[in-house]
Amino acid sequence: MSPRPPARRGSVLPFFLLALLVIILDQLSKYLVHKHMQLGQMGEILLIGHWLKLDYTTNPGMAFGVELLPPPYGKLLLTGFRLLAVGGLSYYITYLWRHRAAAGFIACMTLILGGAVGNVVDSVFYGIIYHNAPFGSPTPWFFGQVIDMIYVDIYEGFLPASWPLIGGKYVSLWPIFNLADSSIFIGVALILLLQGRFFKQTEQNTTLVAPAPPASDTAQ
């Protein structure tokens, strides 16, 4: 029988607690925004000039305010996909732990899981809790709108005419997102930036320990 690497110490539980922390912070921020802010631009709070603001917005679609699927049943498909993703991520995080993957990589996957659950909660329950399902939805369940509040007003206007291909065109770059979206983005970005380091750490963790030679051999 081939030798196995030493058993991993500790537990996978702290990683899931990290996901739970993301979920709690995300839901708390959405509750405070819903409770204390006015919906739309009239309730905007400036944080860094007009570049970074708090703006209570509801989003029936994907992350950063992007809606890719047609209503109303596209919303059900999206929520169903998110639920499958949550289950798959939970299983994958446990798999990574058991197979001694780098702790940093597991933490990044956990940030993605926490963000995914945060937005699933909105989609499944907010139509009932906050009564924000779009008009005409067949049921408030699973048709809740995600609450976004972080507004980054990057640029809005015409690009210089001298720029090739895109010069003279009007562009509007102003993503609106929430803490769940931010957690997903940070997790993905860190994986892309640090994947080489994560791979090396995983290799080190899974290196088999060479068995000690028999006592009779060492005595000769």
* Average pLDDT of the chain to the nearest whole number: 85
148 counts as catalytic? yes
The neighbouring-strand residues paired with 46 are: 53
Helix (H, G, I), strand (E, B) or coil at 1: coil
Catalytic hit among 26, 55, 148, 153: 148
Range with top average pLDDT, 3-7, 36-40, 70-74, 108-112: 108-112
**pLDDT value of position 213:** 55
26 counts as catalytic? no
Rounded CA-CA distance 3/202 in Å is: 18
Helix (H, G, I), strand (E, B) or coil at 201: helix
Q: What percent of the chain lies above the pLDDT cut of 90?
A: 55
Residue 161 — pLDDT band, cuts 50, 70, 90? Answer: confident
- When comparing pLDDT for 96 and 159, which is higher? 96
Residue 121 — pLDDT band, cuts 50, 70, 90? Answer: very high
Range with top average pLDDT, 1-15, 56-70, 145-159: 145-159
**Residue 40 clears pLDDT 80, i.e. is over it:** yes
CA distances from 215 to 3, 4, 26, 146, 210 (A): 18, 21, 59, 66, 15
**Residue 23 clears pLDDT 50, i.e. is over it:** yes
pLDDT per position as a tens digit, 76-101: 777 888 899 999 999 999 999 999 99
**pLDDT value of position 208:** 52
Question: Taking Cα atoms as reference points, which of 24, 194, 184, 214 lies closest to residue 101?
Answer: 194
**pLDDT value of position 207:** 80
Count, residues in the chain: 220
**Residue 210 clears pLDDT 50, i.e. is over it:** no
